[in-house]
Amino acid sequence: MPPPHLQGTRVVASKPIALTISDDSILTGSGWDLIGDQLIPAHLAGKEHILVRGFAFQGAEVGYVLAIYPNTVLRQDGAVVATLQAGQTYSFDLNNFSTFLESTEPVYVMHLSGHPNEAASAILPHLSCTGSTQIGFVRSSPDDFALFLLIRNGHQQNFSINGNSTLVTANDFVVVPGTQGAWVVARKEFNSSQIPVGQATLVSNSTGLFHLGILNNLGASSEYGYFSDYASLNLGPDNSACQGDSVVLRAGAGAISYLWSDGSTEAETVVRQSGTYWVEVNKGTCVLRDTIQVNFRPLPQPVFNNLSPQYCFNSATVTLSATPAGGLFRINGQTQFQLNPAELGVGTHQIEYQFTDINNCTGQARQEIEVLAPPDDLAFVGLEEGYCQNAAPQPLQATLPGGTFYIDGQPTDWLQPALLGFGNHNARYDYRDGLGCIYQISQRFEIVGQPEALSPIPDSLFVCPDNVGGLFLRANFARQYEWRKGNELLVLGQGQLFEVKSPGIYHLRMDNGYGCVRTHTFEVFGKCEPAFLLPEAFSPNGDGLNDILEIFGGDFINLDFRVFNRWGENIFVLFSPLYSWNGNSNGRPVPAGVYYWKARYAHPLYPERIFEKSGRLLIVR
């Protein structure tokens, strides 16, 4: 393998990386192979290395040394063999069973080895302050398998493999030349019963640190590599965490002893305060030391912007706000950004705000709020569903005094039906309790007018006994009508229209349901003069009540009925009692007000006799 295959390229990265080299088409004997290994960072390179020969052909066992620093003097088995500049490479054939390399500056050493016609390579660990007390691996092939063991002289008798101390003995080791007897090595082959394929194997030494190499034939290739603790101590870059958290500092396993600046003697320690921390690690042949700065950042201290300790049950929904903004709100453990007291219900509730700053530190604000119970006995006292317009004024009252009453939005302490007018109205009561909560109740009520007999019904009427169909009378503005003749009840119900067929004394009682009662008593005489009855008012406003003007009474013929405005203009004409007036003239509603009417008519039995009547008519809209 010519030297240009391994050149001194320098790789620098801003963050930790892994770097692997490979070299293809390596010819050893008659076989072409691919070799390679993962590189170690420059700060883990060392000055002392041992190479142990594998099973490759003579000339296919080669050592390569790469200098990192200028003017690096290299010795092999005690003799100076080269002076290298940074990036230069020195290679040599490994003809002896083992060799010892020393350099004045740290260097990389790669060993090309393998089996006959099958090449393999490995980056070798340096010896100073390195090694492990136990190493585990898994054998991957039943083919030729060997372990390389490097250890300081005096510990070689203390090896065991999976607890078996007979598989590796002191007799398997030889002294490495150039080390003045300080180091010994062993290259020992094992069959599949000694080290099974596919199972975890643990090699350990009870007294010293060692390095382990594996060379395994895979048929058409070889695998080669060293397992070793480089005994580097690096606590990592300075660390930052959030106040209240903890940082675990690790010095690595397998050392003889540890001493931390906080007094801990374990392989790792947990710190919770800012400061500078150091550790000393005793690896047996050396003591390693490293320092790290740990900074615990303060947590953000968020505060609520608009949170009150108490809320009325009927308070408006609050959109939660806090400083700094951008965090997460929770109400009773549930993520929510709006506080609705009525939905939360009466009682205490936990509000939490969590904010994470740019350093990924999280602070919290918590506050307990109370939703106050509304009064359960707040109601109007004595407020009815309806009142007569002429009913006496009454004071407004509620079960809890001290609030403000309103009718149709206007503040008042009295309900005065005569001033309110017909129709529906709304009463409201605003009550403020001792905690400042305002509660409202409301109730609708109706103002109705006195019942009216809009025919009108005079004290006496006439009915013609020979007139089939009788005399029709109408009453209005009542919910119940009671018609009697003497003491005889004729009609009781909601019928407004009543037919009188015989003479007698009649009684009409009208009740609107709210205590508004009006009575009429009239006498009907037998007389064949047609009765002409016309209401004094009607309200053509489309509400379905009293919308049209009708003529009532006995039969009559030759009707000529006319309505005039105040200027004497004829605005409506009617020639038959079968028809009615809807309050329009020329297709348009006439204004509300007082109008005048005239009527001419005759009795069907006496057509030659003409009757005339006139009067006033009120149109209400």
Average pLDDT over residues 134-146: 94
| One domain, residues 353 and 388 | no
How much is the mean pLDDT over the chain?
A: 88
What is the pTM (predicted TM-score) of this model? 0.48
Do 432 and 578 sit in the same domain of this protein? no
Domain boundary residue, one of 414, 448, 482: 448
What is the rounded distance in angstroms from the CA atom of residue 139 to the CA atom of residue 474? 118
The reported pLDDT for the residue numbered 160 is 97
Residue 454's pLDDT band (boundaries 50, 70, 90)?
very low
- Exposure string of 353-374, with b = 16+ CB inside 10 Å and e = fewer, is bbbbbeeebbbebeeebbbbee
The answer to whether residue 508 sits within a structural domain is no
**Domain's final residue, options 185, 204, 227:** 227
Is 503 part of any domain? Answer: no
Tokens of 433: 């309790």
Give CA–CA dist 540/538, Å, rounded.
6
- Token representation of residue 591: 């204004």
Helix, strand, coil % over all residues of the chain, rounded to 5? 5, 50, 45
Mean pLDDT along residues 329-347? 95
At 49 the three-state DSSP class reads strand
Q: Summarize the confidence of residues 227-255 as an average pLDDT.
A: 87
Q: How far apart are CA 593 and CA 105, in angstroms?
A: 123
User: Of 441-445, 456-460, 511-515, where does mean pLDDT reach its minimum?
Assistant: 456-460
> Does residue 506 lie within any of the structural domains?
no
- What average pLDDT does this structure show over 279-302? 90
Q: Which is nearest to 484 in space by CA: 498, 474, 468? A: 498
User: 18-27, 352-361, 585-594: lowest mean pLDDT where?
Assistant: 18-27
Q: Is 29 helix (H, G, I), strand (E, B) or coil?
A: coil
| 352 and 399 share one domain | no
Asked if 546 and 454 touch (Cβ cutoff 8 Å), the reply is yes
Confidence category of residue 1, pLDDT binned at 50, 70, 90 = very low
- Going by pLDDT thresholds of 50, 70 and 90, the confidence category of residue 51 is very high
* Residue 553 belongs to some domain of the structure: yes
Greater model confidence, 173 or 577: 173
Polymer length in residues for the chain: 621
In terms of domains, do 263 and 389 share one? Answer: no
| Residue 606 clears pLDDT 90, i.e. is over it | no
**Mean pLDDT computed over 448-473:** 59
Residue 462 lies in a domain: no
Least confident of 53-57, 250-254, 267-271, 468-472: 468-472
492 vs 506: CA distance, rounded Å: 14
Query: How many domains does the structure of the chain reveal?
Result: 5
pLDDT of residue 459: 54
Tell me: do 216 and 129 sit in the same domain: yes
Which structural domain, as residue segments, surrounds residue 612? Answer: 529-621
Given this model, what pLDDT does residue 469 score? 47
Do both 392 and 537 map to the same domain?
Answer: no
Does position 2 have pLDDT exceeding 60, yes or no? no
Cα 325 to Cα 308: distance, rounded to the nearest angstrom: 18
Do 565 and 621 fall within a single domain? yes
Band of residue 37 on the pLDDT scale cut at 50, 70, 90: confident
Range in 78-92, 403-417, 548-562, 589-603 with the lowest mean pLDDT: 548-562
One domain for residues 248 and 339: no
> Is the residue at 97 inside a domain?
yes
Q: Does the pLDDT at position 468 exceed 50?
A: no
Q: How high is the pLDDT of residue 532?
A: 80
In a domain, 457, yes or no: no
* Token pair in block for residue 304: 């609520």
Distance CA 183, CA 173 (A): 10
- E strands, 174-209, in order: 174-175, 183-189, 200-205
Residues 202 and 56 in one domain: yes
Of 352, 333, 344, the residue nearest 311 (C-alpha): 344
Confidence of residue 139 (pLDDT cuts 50, 70, 90): very high
Q: Which of 61-75, 118-132, 282-296, 490-504 has the highest mean pLDDT?
A: 61-75
Q: What is the pLDDT of residue 435?
A: 81
Same domain, residue pair 201 and 160: yes
Q: Which CATH number characterizes residue 392's domain? A: 2.60.40
Cα 7 to Cα 583: distance, rounded to the nearest angstrom = 116
Give yes or no: residues 316 and 272 share one domain. no
Assign 3-class secondary structure to 466-532. CCCCCEEEECECCCEEEEEECCEEEEEECCCEEEECCCEEEEEEEECCCCCEEEEEEEEEECCCCCE
Is pLDDT of 509 > 60?
Answer: yes
Q: Are strands 460-463 and 517-526 parallel, antiparallel or unpaired?
A: parallel
Check whether residue 244 and residue 389 sit in a common domain.
no
